[in-house]
Amino acid sequence: MDDKILDWVLPAEKFSQDGDTQSMRTVAREIFELDKNSAEGLALMAEASFYQGDLQEAESFAQYALSVEPNHLRGRLVTGGVAIKNFKLKTQLNILDAVINDAHKELKRLRANLQEHNRKFAFNRRKRTSEDEKFERRIDKENFIVRSLLFKALCWSSNGLYLTGEPARAAESLLEASSLIYNDELAAELYSKHLFLKNYRDLSQAQIKELAQKYNSFFENTTPFTHDKKSFNADKKIHVGYISPDFREHAVANFIPPLLQNYDAENFSVTCYFTGRKDSVTVKLKNFNVGWRDLIGKTPLLAANIIAEDKVDILVDLSGHSQDSCLPILAYKPAPVQICGIGYISTTGLSAVDYFLSDKICSPENLPTSFTEKILRVEPCSLCYSPGLIREMPAVDLRAPFLKNGFITYGSFNNFAKIHEELLYLWRAILERVPNSKLILKNKLCSLDEGKDIIKEKLSKMSFPLDRIDLRPYSPDYLEQYREIDVALDTYPYTGGTTTCEALYMGVPVITLRGKTHGARFSASILNAADISELIAQSPMDYINKAVQLSRRKELLSAYHVGLREHMQNSALMDSKNYIRELEKIYRAIWKNFCGK
């Protein structure tokens, strides 16, 4: 690349990072003044068009750039981006994998050139000349640009990998991306997403803890607020704050009402701090008699200041490392006591978080823990299910589907990223042992033709009987489709939460495997609280056997479909009054502990 063009590309890349598409176009025009057929200028126009949502123009400019320079990195990157927007999953991943591979090669070449230059310089023992400095500046500029392109390719690729059921690769892409960016806040966000995706596959307790603790290093320069314990009264009315981006149509909203509707107003006051978008569910939640504070768009420091000024005593984070995490706010320690739980299944790794809400099933006292926080055990379950806030729950079909169909139908409505090869082998074994049985998989990947092809290819390689598999797209009426399922098969090690509760509430028994970590026991805790622990398997073989045996016990299976909803409504899993009383006992105990230190 010509030096003059390179000098223009450097600010263009910074404009790209800032989302300043107009300035990117201006730079491209300046480059065209130097070379009207510049591949770099064309690719910059393509990238700007892509960010502005004009996919046709983006594709046209990118193809023009590639006609000038067939292996142009930015041009190929944009074609991969256009493939993402057009839901061409295979095309997207193939293009971005190649861009990532070539970017790595280019960075390696630049490092080798610089090392060779330094070696010759040291060997000749001569003074550095202006030509030496010019060479080194050029290497720095090229390195910055290639790193930036690699960063984008890794981030874009991670989304496709996650959707196609490869969360481990997606997590590694985000980990590398976090090491390439110079913005500490964005690096922390990417590492947080990396941690979230690591939950999808088996890790040891020690591995989970070690990975999470590294998150804390992003906040080494964050000065936490101080709280003078002498000014606090152990017996005072406790101000509890709940913070989340998900006071909206989101899975966690099924577990929020019990926190707000029956709390002891004489001894507790409650404020909700929402950081995400609002919708009709937000409006419904605002009808509860609690305080509400809008932190949308506020910096972590400003948000923390607001919480501190409100004099919150106990701040409960409901998102953990989920999307749009609130942990950067908690890093400032705006409340004297801070807890995470309900909306996340693993440790945060953040030293500013004191406790994590769990229970005796997810975190038995006699087992080693992966948590950097102290465990608070809510009995019998850390969750309390409260359906109906997001959508009206359909009536249960009291006749099990096999009575109409003459065969057993298994089903999983879980995210496909939770489904891996080992689990699929268990499901295949179940189908083999239950003649004529079928399996319904319903998820977002099945909403795309290419997505269905990817699933079929994976199943074919495992000799799955494809004629007994029904791949269904996500749809708003998914709850009604539980009426076609006899037995739901849970995923592991990332088990269902809301998905498990919804299946049970629709009268469908769920077979789950109790794993070794907190997240791998989430469904087991739900089933235990719902008083149907007989559906909890202790090993992979037990998982198969329970699914097969239930299909043969037709009277029991029918009884589940008839009585499961009522049984669940009368269980501890939906006893909101007892749940909040247990939680408030814990709040009082940890507050007294804080004041007494």
Q: How do the domains of the chain map onto residue ranges? A: 3-215, 237-384+577-596, 401-574
Q: Cis link prior to 380 (omega < 30° from 0)?
A: yes
pTM of the model: 0.94
Q: How far is CA 335 from the centre of its chain?
A: 26
DSSP-derived letter for residue 8 is H
Q: How far is CA 59 from the centre of its chain?
A: 30
- Strand, coil or helix: what is 134? helix
C-alpha to C-alpha distance for 344 and 574, rounded to whole angstroms: 19
Backbone angles phi, psi at 488, to 5 degrees: -90, 140
Which residue type occupies 532? I
* Residue 320 region by backbone torsions, left for phi larger than 0, else alpha for psi between -120 and 50, else beta: left
- Structural contact between residues 441 and 471, judged by C-beta atoms closer than 8 angstroms: yes
CB neighbours of residue 353 within 10 Å: 26
Determine whether domain 3-215 maps to CATH 3.20.180.10.
no
C-alpha to C-alpha distance for 469 and 437, rounded to whole angstroms: 9
C-alpha to C-alpha distance for 271 and 254, rounded to whole angstroms: 18
Q: Cis link prior to 493 (omega < 30° from 0)?
A: yes
| 200 closest CA partner among 436, 423, 430 | 423
Listed in sequence order, the residues at least 6 apart from 282 whose beta carbon sits closer than 8 Å to its beta carbon are 247, 248, 274
C-alpha to C-alpha distance for 536 and 355, rounded to whole angstroms: 27
- Strand, coil or helix: what is 467? helix
Distances (CA, A) of 413 to 272, 333, 425, 535: 31, 38, 18, 18
The structure tokens listed for 296 are 């949308």
Determine whether domain 237-384+577-596 maps to CATH 3.40.718.10.
no
Residues in the chain: 597
DSSP-derived letter for residue 128 is P
The structure tokens listed for 202 are 């088996």
237-384+577-596 shares its CATH topology with 401-574: yes
Q: What is the pLDDT along the chain (597 residues), one digit of tens a residue?
A: 677 888 888 899 889 888 899 999 999 999 998 998 899 999 999 999 999 999 999 999 999 999 999 999 999 999 999 999 998 999 999 999 999 999 999 999 988 888 877 777 665 556 667 777 788 888 888 999 999 999 999 999 999 999 999 999 999 999 999 999 888 899 999 999 999 999 999 998 899 999 999 999 999 999 999 987 767 889 999 999 999 999 999 999 999 999 999 999 999 999 999 999 999 999 999 999 999 999 999 999 999 999 999 999 999 999 999 999 999 999 999 999 999 999 999 999 999 999 999 999 999 987 778 899 999 999 999 999 999 998 899 999 999 999 999 999 999 999 999 999 999 999 999 999 999 999 999 999 999 999 999 999 999 999 999 999 999 999 999 999 999 999 999 999 999 999 999 999 999 999 999 999 999 999 999 999 999 999 999 999 999 999 999 999 999 999 999 999 999 999 999 999 999 999 999 999 999 999 986
Distances (CA, A) of 584 to 181, 260, 538: 42, 12, 32
- Strand, coil or helix: what is 562? helix
C-alpha to C-alpha distance for 418 and 492, rounded to whole angstroms: 7
- Could you tell me the strand order of the sheet in which 487-489 lies? 469-473, 438-443, 409-412, 487-489, 510-513, 536-537
Listed in sequence order, the residues at least 6 apart from 27 whose beta carbon sits closer than 8 Å to its beta carbon are 8, 9, 11, 12, 15, 44
Distances (CA, A) of 498 to 96, 252, 526: 33, 8, 10
Q: Which CATH number fits domain 401-574: 3.30.460.90, 3.40.50.300, 3.40.50.2000, 3.40.50.1820?
A: 3.40.50.2000
